[in-house]
């Protein structure tokens, strides 16, 4: 199947990549690339599983594993660079994190600074997170810094476990370009939190990976238009 390569790069933000427990994500990335989508993968954590290179051997995307917070010099370098290159977006994101009074959000802010610093140099024009919790928060803040759109996919397990409050989830939905739900139950949970932003929820059934990634590609292209 021939594909038309997109001129835009999508920054995929994942909690951990690659991960033995998430083979479907690797498959999704490979199919997106086969359809011409340019990707840059950002992993918030380093993989704990060994021997996973074979599963991503065909992936052309650059993979950035964020440095540990114990690597202070690297973290500080990215944060200072972001504040210098994107002062307005940096300030907005910092105020957003501080106003909520949740200590963990400062960690997400710093991670967003690291991603924005790299993504700005790589031509990333849209962020997509594979989880409604930390990855979506970081995608939201990264987009705020670079003034570019973001989206996320909500997984049923995260929604049912209540890893975040309804208000927090509702805010992420309201500011996202679109939100992907892969099952009716996920769509229902998102709709309850969305309030007036239900139109942003897009259901994509995951039975056919080619159809799934074709739908995602169309959404990414619409976001860039």
Residue 189 has what pLDDT? 82
Helix/strand/coil (H/E/C) assignment for every residue in 150-215: EEEEECHHHHHHCCCCHHHHHHHHHHCCEEEECCHHHHHHHHHHHHHHHHHEEECCCCCHHHHHHH
Q: Supply the pLDDT for residue 193.
A: 84
Instruction: Look up residue 5 and give its DSSP letter.
Output: P
Q: What is residue 55's predicted lDDT score, i.e. its pLDDT?
A: 59
What per-residue confidence (pLDDT) applies to 24? 86
Tally of CA atoms within 13 A in the half-sphere of 112 that contains its CB: 35
Tens-digit pLDDT string for the chain (225 aa): 444 555 689 999 999 998 876 788 999 999 999 999 999 999 999 887 665 555 577 899 999 999 877 667 888 899 999 999 999 999 999 999 999 999 999 999 999 999 999 999 999 999 999 999 999 999 999 999 999 999 999 876 666 655 555 678 899 999 999 999 877 767 888 888 888 788 999 988 777 888 899 999 999 999 988
Rg of the chain taking only CA atoms, in angstroms: 17
Tokens standing for residue 201? 């929820």
Cα 94 to Cα 145: distance, rounded to the nearest angstrom: 9
Domains of the chain: 9-46+56-224 (3.40.50.2000)
Integer Cα distance of 70 and 98 in angstroms: 22
**Which residues, in sequence order, are CB contacts of 113 under 8 Å at separation 6+?**
78, 79, 82, 83, 90, 93, 145
Describe the chain by its helix, strand, coil percentages, rounded to 5. 55, 15, 30
Contact between 7 and 124 under an 8 Å Cβ cutoff? The reply is: no
3-state class (DSSP) for residue 127: strand
């Amino acid at each position: 199947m021939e594909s038309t390569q997109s001129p835009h790069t999508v920054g995929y933000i994942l909690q951990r990549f690659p991960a033995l427990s998430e083979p479907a994500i690797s498959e999704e990335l490979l199919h997106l690339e086969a359809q011409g989508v340019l990707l840059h993968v950002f992993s918030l954590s380093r993989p704990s599983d060994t021997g996973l290179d074979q599963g991503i051997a065909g992936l052309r995307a650059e993979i950035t594993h964020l440095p540990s917070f114990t690597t202070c010099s690297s973290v500080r370098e990215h944060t200072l660079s972001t504040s210098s290159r994107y002062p307005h977006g940096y300030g907005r994101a910092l105020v957003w994190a501080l106003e909520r009074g949740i200590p963990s959000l400062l960690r997400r802010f710093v991670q967003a600074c690291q991603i924005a610093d790299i993504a700005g140099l790589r031509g990333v024009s849209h962020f997509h997170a594979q989880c409604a919790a930390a990855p979506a928060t970081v995608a939201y803040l990264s987009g705020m810094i670079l003034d570019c759109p973001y989206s996320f996919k909500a997984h049923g397990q995260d929604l049912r476990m209540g890893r975040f409050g309804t208000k927090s989830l509702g805010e992420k939905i309201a500011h996202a370009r679109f939100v992907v739900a892969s099952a009716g139950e996920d769509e229902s949970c998102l709709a309850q939190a969305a309030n007036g932003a239900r139109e942003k929820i897009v259901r994509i059934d995951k039975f056919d990976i080619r159809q799934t990634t074709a739908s995602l590609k169309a959404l990414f292209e619409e976001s860039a238009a």
